[in-house]
Amino acid sequence: MFENFPLWPARASTTAGQVDALYIFLVALSAVMSITIFTMILYFAARYRRRQGVAAEQIEGSTPLEVTWSVFPLVIFMVIFAWGMVIYFHERTPPQDATEVYVVAKQWMWKLQHEEGQREINQLHVPVGRDIKLIMTSQDVIHSFFVPAFRLKQDVLPGRYTTLWFRATKPGTYHLFCSQYCGTQHSGMVGQIVVMEPAQYQAWLAGGIAGAPLAETGAGLFQQLGCSTCHRSDTQGRGPNLVGVFGKKVLLEDGRTVVADEDYIRESILAPTAKIVSGFKPIMPVFQGLVSEEQLNALVAYVKSLGQAAPGARPGIPAAVQPAQPKVQ
Amino acid sequence: MATATLTQERENYLNQSYGIKSWLLTTDHKRIALLYLVSITFFFFIGGFFALLIRLELLTPAGDLVLADTYNKLFSMHGQVMIFFFLIPSIPAVLGNFLVPLMIGAKDLAFPRINLLSWYLYIIAGLTYIHCMLTGGVDTGWTFYTPFSTAFSNTKVIEAGLAIFVAGFSSILTGLNFVVTIHRMRAPGMTWTRLPLFIWAHYATSIIQLLGTPVLAVTLVLVVLERALHLGIFDPARGGDPLLFQHLFWFYSHPAVYIMILPAMGVVTEIVPCFSRKRIFGYKFVAMSSIAIAVFGFLVWAHHMFVAGISLYSALIFSMLSYMVAVPSAIKVFNWTATMYKGSISFSTPMLYAFGFIGLFTMGGLTGLFLACLGIDPHVHDTYFVIAHFHYIMVGGAVMGYLGGMHFWWPKISGRMYPEGWGRLAALIVFVGFNLTFFPQFVLGYLGMPRRYWDYSHSPEFQVLNVLSTAGASVLGVGYVLPMVYFLWSMRYGKPASDNPWNAAGLEWQTTSPPPTFNFEETPMVNFEAYDYEHIPEPEVAVER
């Protein structure tokens, strides 16, 4: 709008337009309401200013008026509430087939890793038009992943995953801010989101120092840490078979069921006795403090790949030793 | 002039005894109010000094005035000083302390010694906090978010936490005293529906203080325990839950906003009828809206946590309840406006502050609708939009109300008139300075500038608005120093005040200015309603032009 005096940041995601529309509606509504009130006050102040010999007229009140100015705003408020709810549910429900990026926050840095294996620090390259889901955790204190151009923000907590998704719509470089105060260099915990045309993005992917795909790194760790000795892909293992587990309901020893999501897998690695799968014994060692956040992410990505790549898993061969297929759209 | 001289010679609570001891050991609610006035003014200027440094740092994008750690301490201590040592005690402990017994026709509060104890607790807390500031300070933000505060910050978190813990008890005792006093000490005939609405507002405030503050105290103790003894309560590395801290903290700290704003609403509800010469429009609705705010205020805390990682459905509930609490606030604004209709309005300083309050509170309230909205909050949360919003409520609202009340009751408190011309000028300066400081921050927030940023050299596009804000802050500073100067001046040189210089309704105006130690020569009998302006003559020279 104004080159040197903008009223809002660039609109670069599918959410941005929705949020701005509601924002503009609210600004207009507030302007109407406040101008109405201020005009009345100023008018009364001028019209009924103190004059010699003119007394005030005593009025007790009016229940119909009170009801009107209680109910009328409430109706408007509920409209705002409902409109906001629609946007919130949309922006907090990631599409099933979104490309996943793992984010690890620490004082005072963003570490990001793509499924394909590329690692980035304080920068995230994404293509236009693809759904991206961020799976985020923190190594220390609470941080918050904030991209004004996407109108999105989510706190990043230690000890658990939080997620955020977006679809970028406009190529460009946008601010990434940490918006939850995190200590000395909080204001230095900033970065850039680089949104690219798909072709450019592919070139960028190919040109980078390609590490192994994340799930493959996870498969290696799965062997290395000895997970595969118990979590076998047949029914003979001392631990549950993990093939196809991700996203499914799991029956626990105490009768509860939980959905095997990222947080459940994470918890089962760090504190295995927290939720024991029905029919198994609490014999798994605790990995709290033995694996880094990045290694955890790789393990989680690997277990997820077991869930999705089930058709490709040949029977008889432990899935653990098969290189997982990175998902490419 | 003859009566004025007489007023001076009459025995009153100020000249009844002299000497340091007569003040430090007083149990007179009016003297304790003055003890509070001096103490909170001291903290107000400390907090203001921190704000000044913050605004100077943000004048340029680079972090070049103070170090990053210093800046983090400045905004943390600005928040904690202003909230716990100025705003929360401001109107209740000064004006409330002074006026609650006078307005209901009582000799003192129900527990005069507990009242003094509450001031001593405040002073112990204040001295502890000053010691904390002088020996290194604290950098957790005013919010003490875990696990930063319990496991990562290397500043004086425990000392600051304990200081605020003690200050909380001072606040609880004040609330307790008001509740009991309002229930038990009303003069004959002073029924609940004849109570001034200032009393209703303080009653609602006291309930929040009584029910909410203990939760803050418990939370701070847990923070101290986790930090000192490494218990795992909030820190996930030790098996704790950081969101539990946020729930506990906001369970108090959201209602705490109403501890600050409800008394200011009470002040405005006294000023508007007096300077419109009218009874308040919709007495019962205004009274009940105070209670509704206190009750609903306890049910909205998680709207501070929409992006913190709570479930979608709890966010939904808290968003809806937040809109519910907006309704009683709107009712008040409409009733104040309607009170002016067909009134006889004069523009004395207290009324100017009341106008300012209504305008700024309205804007603070309307921008609250943005923040309660699940669609907008994820973008503006933790940005300058939030900073602007709560300063509109807490400075534009609570501080304007406090200053309006100080001017309105200054003749009663000191027995002297403040200079009216200077008063109006200061009110105007405060209003202009305030808007210039905080309005640009709404835009800044929507642009995406996060709060608590020491350095924004990566985003030079934020500078213009920051320069405006800093300019406004310097104007605002002048506006705040002026009243302090002329109030002090008026204590010696001000025109002696008559008993009821505004021809106001209310029992506090029926006694002398300043009142005698036991407030009334004889216990007043109440057979009239509050704001009975029909039967009170208009002041002849209340306004000098």
User: What tens digit of pLDDT does each residue of A113-122 get?
Assistant: 998 888 899 9
Task: Pick out chain B residues at pLDDT < 70.
Answer: 1-9, 539-545
| Chain A partners within 8 Å of B315 (Cβ) | 88
| B contact residues 420-459, partner A, Cβ 8 Å cutoff | 443, 446-448, 450-456, 458-459
Instruction: State the pLDDT at residue B476.
Output: 96
In this structure, the dihedral spanned by the alpha carbons of residues B221, B251, B284 and B105, taken in order and rounded to 10 degrees, is: 10
Report pLDDT for A304.
Answer: 86
- pLDDT given at position B297: 94
Which B residues in the span 59-88 are in contact with A, Cβ-Cβ below 8 Å?
Answer: 63, 68-69, 72
Q: Per the CB < 8 Å rule, is A58 touching B534?
A: yes
Q: Report all structural domains of chain A as residue ranges with CATH numbers, in order of start.
A: 99-207 (2.60.40.420), 214-321 (1.10.760.10)
* CB neighbour burial string for A20-30, b if at least 16 within 10 angstroms, e if fewer: bebbeebbeeb
Closest CA to B141 of B394, B453, B431: B453
State which amino acid sits at residue A82.
Answer: A
Helices (H), chain A: 14-47, 63-91, 198-207, 214-224, 227-230, 262-270, 293-308
A84 → closest Cβ in B243, B276, B319 = B319
Instruction: Tell me if chain A has a CB within 8 Å of the CB of B528.
Output: no
Q: Over 60: is that where the pLDDT of A2 sits?
A: no
Higher pLDDT, A226 or A141: A141
> What pLDDT score was predicted for residue A282?
85
Tell me whether residues A70 and B331 touch, CB distance under 8 A: yes
Joined together, the tokens standing for residue B536 give 């009170």
Taking the C-alpha atoms of residue B356 and residue B346, their distance in angstroms, rounded to an integer, is 14
| Residue A168, pLDDT score | 96
A241 phi-psi bin (left φ>0, alpha ψ -120 to 50, beta other): beta
What is the value of pTM for the model shown?
Answer: 0.91
Write the DSSP string, B445-478: HHHTPBTT-S--TT-GGGHHHHHHHHHHHHHHHH
Return the closest-CA partner of residue A149 out of A179, A119, A170, A118.
A170
Least confident of A84-93, A309-318, B368-377, B494-503: A309-318
The CATH number of B28-534, from 1.20.210.10, 1.10.3720.10, 1.10.260.40, 1.10.10.200, is 1.20.210.10
Q: Determine the pLDDT at residue A209.
A: 66
Instruction: Give all strands of the β-sheet with A131-138 in edge-to-edge order.
Output: A119-121, A109-114, A99-106, A131-138, A162-167
Q: How many residues does chain B have?
A: 545
- Residue in A23, A150, A160, A186 to test binding to B, most B beta-carbons within 10 Å: A186
Structure tokens at A209: 């120092």
Determine the residue type at B166. Answer: V
Sheet containing A143-147: which strands, arranged edge to edge?
A: A123-127, A190-196, A172-178, A143-147, A152-156
Cα B493 to its chain centre, rounded Å, is 29
- DSSP letters for A23-76: HHHHHHHHHHHHHHHHHHHHHHHHHTB--TT-PPPP----HHHHHHHHHHHHHH
B59 Cβ contact partners less than 8 Å away, ≥ 6 residues apart: B466, B467, B470
Taking only the tens place, the pLDDT of each residue in A223-242 is: 888 888 888 877 777 888 88
B369 vs A26: CB contact, 8 Å cut-off? yes
What is the identity of the amino acid at B117? L
Under an 8 A CB cutoff, do A178 and B450 touch? yes
Query: Residue with structure tokens 């601010």?
Result: A175
Report the Cα–Cα distance between both ends of chain A, in Å, rounded. Answer: 36
Domain boundaries of chain B, sorted by first residue: 28-534
Give the SS3 label for residue B295.
helix
Task: Give one DSSP letter per residue of B125-192, joined into a string.
Answer: HHHHHHHHHHTT---STTTT-TTIIIII--S-HHHHHHHHHHHHHHHHHHHHHHHHHHHH-PPTT--G
Inter-residue contact B85 to B126 (CB < 8 Å): yes
Q: State the burial class of residue A88 (Cβ atoms within 10 Å of its Cβ: 0-12, 13-18, 19+).
A: buried
DSSP H helical segments within B341-462, as ranges?
Answer: 349-372, 377-380, 384-391, 400-414, 420-447
CB contact under 8 A, A142 and B326: no
| Distance between CA atoms of residues A249 and A256, nearest Å | 10
For residue B271, which residues of chain A lie inside 8 Å, CB to CB? none
The percent of chain B in helix, strand and coil, each rounded to the nearest 5, is 70, 0, 30
Rounded distance between C-alpha atoms, residue B176 and residue B206, angstroms: 7
A183/B148 CB distance under 8 A: yes
Report pLDDT for B543.
46
* Residues A232 and A306: beta-carbon distance below 8 Å: no
Q: What is the pLDDT of residue B287?
A: 95
Q: How far apart (Å, rounded) are the C-alpha atoms in residues A15 and B219?
A: 37
Dist. CA B270–CA B87, nearest whole Å: 20
Single-letter residue type at A4:
N
Confidence of residue A325 (pLDDT cuts 50, 70, 90): very low
Which of A180, A286, A290 should one mutate to test binding to chain B, selecting the residue with the greatest count of B CBs within 10 A? A180
